[in-house]
Amino acid sequence: MDTTEVIVIGAGIAGLRCALALAEAGRDVVVVEAGSRVGGRQRTDRVDGFLLLEPFLAGVIADDTGTTSDAFVRLLVRMFVLGRPGLPADGIQALPHQLARRVTDAGGRIRLSHRASRIDRASGRMRVEIDGAGPVIAETVVVAVGPDAVSNLIDVSRPRTRGLQTWWFDASAAPPSSAAVHVDGRRSGPVINTVAMPHTVATYAPPGKHLVQATCLLSETRAPDEPQVRRHLEEIWGSRAGDWSVLRRDDIPHALPAQAAPLRVASPTRIAEGVFVAGDHRDTASIQGALVSGKRAARAVLSP
């Protein structure tokens, strides 16, 4: 039976940021992750020499119904205007990898392929059951899993989510426009945004190749097919998208927590004695929100 001061469930952005703050504060921390690598929903795969991100751009709000909080939209616009959007040269997974290295450098432990299935409290301590392994006993547990799984472990309402479908194409030639991102405000097709990666991060494609991404909304009643996507891309880019080769299609049913009005930016982190929660579903639906939520959870754990 393993023991620690704090166990963090989930090695996504929020969980790693929380673990880092706790480890740097001198706490004994174990992070358990059900998957085979860190990053949660922020991951990068290499396919035929191309770097594919999942999810990419996130839509940015994965909503075309007008139900998203206008306060959240204004917050996003402010960040885009005052900041400078960018992508790591080695893919979005570079961010969780960097956080994970800092966690272990600070003395934290990360265990991959360790799925937490149950949390109990006994004799004043927390007991976390790990599928296929022994339990972990801790003084405190921080649940930092995605919005689709959080209610399976603790007594919180399951957050509403929005889905995205991302297409990755090997284009025969670079799209003629020099614009980094195209958004079709006419809504003349299923694509809500599309990016020609040679105009943004050239390292995402092998030399002489051209990577184009397209994001569509995904729901139980909406799943665009390939001909629809290609036709819309031809309208947007003015290129022969019908000649492009599909590298992969990512269907992500729970890509983002919904940000309906009224906007609640910071939900409570403490759920019960010894139980805390972190994630973009507790803050804003963004990488920044995940980072902020993880740090808030760590501060709550460290508070007397």
pLDDT, mean over the chain: 83
Please tell us whether the domain made up of 44-69+161-257 is placed in CATH 2.60.40.10.
no
At 67-122, the pLDDT tens digits run: 444 444 455 545 554 556 667 777 778 889 999 999 999 999 999 999 999 999 98
- pLDDT the model gives residue 37: 92
Average pLDDT over residues 42-55: 73
Q: According to the per-residue pLDDT averaged within each range, which of 140-144, 175-179, 189-193, 231-235 is highest?
A: 140-144
Average pLDDT over residues 231-235: 91
- pLDDT the model gives residue 171: 87
Higher-confidence residue of 32 and 262: namely: 32
- pLDDT the model gives residue 127: 96
Per-residue pLDDT at 138 exceeds 70: yes
Average pLDDT over residues 187-216: 83
- pLDDT the model gives residue 195: 84
Percent of the residues in the chain that have a pLDDT greater than 70, as a whole number:
82
Per-residue pLDDT at 59 exceeds 50: no
The residue extents of the domains of the chain are: 2-42+93-159+260-302, 44-69+161-257
Percent of the residues in the chain that have a pLDDT greater than 90, as a whole number:
40
Average pLDDT over residues 282-300: 88
- pLDDT the model gives residue 81: 46
- pLDDT the model gives residue 259: 57
CATH for 2-42+93-159+260-302 (3.30.910.20, 3.90.180.10, 3.50.50.60, 3.40.50.300): 3.50.50.60
3-state SS, the chain, equals: CEEEEEEEECCCHHHHHHHHHHHHCCCCEEEECCCCCCCCCCEEEEECCEEEEECCCCCCCCCCCCCECHHHHHHHHHHHHHCCCCCCCCCCCHHHHHHHHHHHHCCCEEECCCCEEEEEEECCEEEEEECCCCCEEEEEEEECCCCCCHHHCCCCCCCCEEEEEEEEEEECCCCCCCCCEECCCCCCCCEEEEEEHHHCCHHHCCCCCEEEEEEEEEECCECCCHHHHHHHHHHHHCCCHHHCEEEEEEEEEEEEECCECCCCCCCCCEEECCEEECCHHHCCCCHHHHHHHHHHHHHHHHCC
At 241-290, the pLDDT tens digits run: 888 999 999 888 877 776 555 556 677 899 999 999 999 888 877 788 88
